[in-house]
């Protein structure tokens, strides 16, 4: 922090940038592999949903001492401790989208964050959660304490990177649940950090998040702050399936909320916007069905339209 003219001025965040900052030729990929993973240390694990949320979601900050660089939109692999019951072999890697920018939540460039939902199994016979069946890795991460070690691989993926070369690019970001993770990195990079990317950005970023209810909203305080500070450049829409109704009187799912703005979204895509989808793979059939219907209404051939978006690299999907 420097002081100029009596007031504090935040230092620029530019020590982890490519040259020029948008050049993706140096994106790190699979630096650490299964047989020689990286050992990170947990800084903090915090529940980030309210009491009425469906399930528990945690924000886990991991210290990598600056030795595990990544870019916004990439994932880390996590190898849970222990071995599999069925064959005694080590657990396989689970991928988690990184929920921070390359500078980490603390801006040091030495940490990264994950957004993890605890996976549990509801037993219809017991009418309760079966403690013997649960997500091995998600439960491990949600139960971690500061100082605990985490075996990690990656970073993985280039599908969800932002094309920063044109600062006028519009981003349409569609998420269900913890699929919000990469967009937290995007939004922080574009609007809250003092990066060359933020300084240059002139486009609009539009975030859609689908969750069950208000208590299940993730990072809402951050989105509201960005929206207040950047009312023309950041848009936010929620689909709350247990609290809102769609235009047909049914539950409001993510595809219903996106459909409300179909005309505008199609215009943006025609003008070169990039659209991103991240979350459980069950989200995509509903999204694609909705887009197909909109295309039919507009007299557009859906398969050709989608092929065009993919050819121009405007279509980004990461589902699990």
Give residues with Cβ within 8 angstroms of 246, minimum separation 6.
252, 253, 256
Predicted confidence (pLDDT) per residue in 185-203, tens digit: 999 999 999 999 999 999 9
Q: Which residues are annotated as a binding site for NADP(+)?
A: 97, 117, 178, 241-242, 251, 279-280, 318
Cis amide bond preceding 155, omega within 30: yes
- Return d(Cα 72, Cα 147) in angstroms, integer: 25
Mean pLDDT score of the chain: 93
Predicted confidence (pLDDT) per residue in 97-141, tens digit: 999 999 999 999 999 999 999 997 766 676 666 666 678 999 999
Predicted confidence (pLDDT) per residue in 275-314, tens digit: 999 999 999 999 999 999 999 999 999 999 999 999 999 9
Q: Is the whole model's pTM more than 0.75, yes or no?
A: yes
- Return d(Cα 2, Cα 315) in angstroms, integer: 41
Judged against a pLDDT cut of 70, whether residue 2 lies above it is answered with no
Of 10, 245, 301, 320, which one is the catalytic site residue? 320
Say if domain 171-319 classifies as CATH 3.40.50.80: yes
Looking at residue 235, what is its pLDDT?
A: 98
Name the residue with higher pLDDT: 148 or 3: 148
Looking at residue 85, what is its pLDDT?
A: 86
Looking at residue 9, what is its pLDDT?
A: 39
Looking at residue 7, what is its pLDDT?
A: 34
- Distance between the two ends of the chain, CA-based, in angstroms? 40
Spelled out in words, what is the top-level CATH class assigned to the domain 38-156?
mainly beta
- Return d(Cα 155, Cα 74) in angstroms, integer: 6
Q: Is 219 a catalytic residue?
A: no
- Return d(Cα 71, Cα 165) in angstroms, integer: 15
Judged against a pLDDT cut of 60, whether residue 16 lies above it is answered with yes
Q: Is 121 a catalytic residue?
A: no
Pairing of the two strands 171-176 and 274-279: parallel
Residues carrying CATH 3.40.50.80, the chain: 171-319
Residues carrying CATH 2.40.30.10, the chain: 38-156
SS3 category, 282: coil
Q: Is 318 a catalytic residue?
A: yes
Contact 249, 289 (CB under 8 A): no
Q: Which residues are annotated as a binding site?
A: 97, 117, 178, 241-242, 251, 279-280, 318
Looking at residue 132, what is its pLDDT?
A: 62
Of 75, 97, 100, 138, which one is the catalytic site residue? 97
Looking at residue 210, what is its pLDDT?
A: 96
The mean pLDDT of 223-251, rounded to a whole number, is 96
Looking at residue 8, what is its pLDDT?
A: 37
What confidence tier does 20 reach under pLDDT thresholds 50, 70, 90?
A: very high
Q: Is 97 a catalytic residue?
A: yes
Of 96, 183, 253, 276, which one is the catalytic site residue? 96
Q: Is 320 a catalytic residue?
A: yes
């Amino acid at each position: 922090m420097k002081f100029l003219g009596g007031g504090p001025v935040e230092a620029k965040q530019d020590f982890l940038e490519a040259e020029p900052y948008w050049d993706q030729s140096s994106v790190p990929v699979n630096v650490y592999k299964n047989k020689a993973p990286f050992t990170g240390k947990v800084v903090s694990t915090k529940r980030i949903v309210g009491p009425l949320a469906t399930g528990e979601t945690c924000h886990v900050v991991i210290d990598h001492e600056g030795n595990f660089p990544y870019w916004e939109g990439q994932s880390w692999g996590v190898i849970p401790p222990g071995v599999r019951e069925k064959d005694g072999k080590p657990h396989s890697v689970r991928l988690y989208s990184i929920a921070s920018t390359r500078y980490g939540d603390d801006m040091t460039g030495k940490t990264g964050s994950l957004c993890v939902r605890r996976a549990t199994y509801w037993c219809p016979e017991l009418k309760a959660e079966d403690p013997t069946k649960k997500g091995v890795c998600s439960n491990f991460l949600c139960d971690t304490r500061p100082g605990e070690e985490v075996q990690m691989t990656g970073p993985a993926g280039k599908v969800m990177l932002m094309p920063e070369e044109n600062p006028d690019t519009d981003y349409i970001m569609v998420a269900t649940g913890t699929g919000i993770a990469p967009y937290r990195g995007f939004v922080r990079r574009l609007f809250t950090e003092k990066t060359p990317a933020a300084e240059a950005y002139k486009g609009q970023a539009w975030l859609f998040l689908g969750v069950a209810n208000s208590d299940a909203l993730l990072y809402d305080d951050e989105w509201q702050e960005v929206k207040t500070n950047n009312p023309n450049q950041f848009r936010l829409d929620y689909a709350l399936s247990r609290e809102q109704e769609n235009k047909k009187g049914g539950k409001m799912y993510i595809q219903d909320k996106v459909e409300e703005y179909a005309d505008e979204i199609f215009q943006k895509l025609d003008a070169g916007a990039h659209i991103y989808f991240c979350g459980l793979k069950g989200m995509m059939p509903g999204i694609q069905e909705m887009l197909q219907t909109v295309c039919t209404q507009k007299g557009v051939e859906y398969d050709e339209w989608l092929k065009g978006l993919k050819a121009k690299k405007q279509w980004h999907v990461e589902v699990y």
